[in-house]
A = this chain, B = another copy of it.
């Protein structure tokens, strides 16, 4: 399945609204901001990811004749003039984008992407941008939690089979790497993104042979450089005993079931007694940050972890409630600020900038959310940077290793209370007085407070 046809990878209403704007001759510029209204459960920070795919999408966004023919025949477009389809034929994104770099830590209600352009163009991007940024941010954040709980031991992303399809698998691998994983089992993610790929063997390999010994022997013969052996097909401790009595010296053994704490201690003991001190213990099987936190707190002799389902689906909360909202329009040279005041779903007006303050220039202190055209608060660093100007990318996309290092630094600079695995603390974000004042006055206009 190819997503080359990505101009249609959007919600229908983006296109019906486009037709309405076109018919109304709405050529004015509009500014939209993408932000998370709230956190997934038990989160107090987020790690931005997905910008590269978002920019690739909007740079190449075009409608071909077949797609246009599909829309022309669609019942929702029965009232739409032919001139709109001519417009789509020539469509490309000509606007400006500001965003925070991938790997940057941010908080709820902070805009991480800001799009300014003719309202039709800026509106059409909504669905795809949200899909690709919500998901990768969700997974980069989940990965950072898991990696922290591993306390320095490597974590490999292992979840392709439980991902929400093959594309979700590679996007999850990319986001997991940004969040601190050392690699992935997904070969395509290695091929496309240069992420280190790892693997051992499946239970089926063991099961194919009449005895576990035969399977171990054959695998170690084929892969003498870095043999890895899976121990738990029948019985983990018997598996370990067999490795030792056969005189094998695998570089790694994998435990995939049972009480991983008790088994890792016993397997370590069996290996050590046989002098296999260099054989690493790799543990997998329905792990998450809470289980890993428990194993590492108790000093289980585990060298690294493979985490699949829980990581690539962010199983404890599989959706980031990111939204994309209109914050201002320009009409006759004037900026008109916009808010939504729906019950529990209100928004902040105007193009904004996030200003971050550090204590002693190093550790994270707090953020100020201000209008982009205000004077910056003192001793702060702006987070949103220019990414596209008039439809062209003007940002030198960092490579994935650099993004990963940036995320690592960001998380290191974040106070511990935001990194707790359970509960959620108040976002350390205050509004500038100008933004606060503007918000209040607009909400009052709509009889809300």
**Residues of chain A whose beta carbon lies under 8 Å from any beta carbon of chain B:** 1-6, 8-17, 19-21, 23-24, 26, 30, 32, 53, 56, 67, 70-71, 74-76, 78-80, 119, 123, 126-128, 130-132, 134-135, 158, 160-172, 185-188, 190-192, 197-205, 207-208, 210, 218-219, 222-226, 232-236, 256-258, 285, 309, 313-315, 317-326, 329, 336, 338-345, 446-448
A171 to B186 alpha-carbon distance, docked (Å) = 20
List chain B residues, Cβ under 8 A from A26.
208
List chain B residues, Cβ under 8 A from A342.
203, 232-234, 236, 256-258
Contact B3 A160 (CB under 8 A): no
Of B80, B172, B226, the contact of A76 (CB 8 Å cutoff): B226
Of B13, B78, B158, the contact of A200 (CB 8 Å cutoff): B13
This protein's copies in its complex: 2
Contact B186 A1 (CB under 8 A): no
Contact B325 A318 (CB under 8 A): no
Contact B204 A123 (CB under 8 A): yes
Q: Nearest chain B CB to A175's CB is how many angstroms away?
A: 10
Q: DSSP majority for the A interface?
A: mixed
Nearest residue, chain B, Cβ from A169 = B131
With A23-B222, A160-B127 in contact, is A318–B315 under 8 Å at CB?
yes
Q: Nearest chain B CB to A158's CB is how many angstroms away?
A: 8
List chain B residues, Cβ under 8 A from A318.
164, 313-315, 318
Nearest residue, chain B, Cβ from A323 = B161
Contact B11 A74 (CB under 8 A): no
Nearest residue, chain B, Cβ from A122 = B204
With A161-B131, A166-B167 in contact, is A321–B309 under 8 Å at CB?
yes
14 contacting pairs across A/B (C-beta < 8 A): A3-B167, A12-B186, A12-B187, A12-B190, A17-B204, A17-B205, A19-B222, A70-B190, A134-B161, A135-B165, A161-B322, A257-B342, A257-B343, A314-B318
Contact B162 A321 (CB under 8 A): yes
Of B8, B20, B320, the contact of A188 (CB 8 Å cutoff): B8
Contact A3 B319 (CB under 8 A): no
Of B21, B164, B257, B324, the contact of A172 (CB 8 Å cutoff): B164
List chain B residues, Cβ under 8 A from A219.
20
With A10-B160, A126-B202 in contact, is A233–B166 under 8 Å at CB?
no
List chain B residues, Cβ under 8 A from A203.
325-326, 340, 342
Contact A6 B166 (CB under 8 A): yes
List chain B residues, Cβ under 8 A from A218.
20, 24
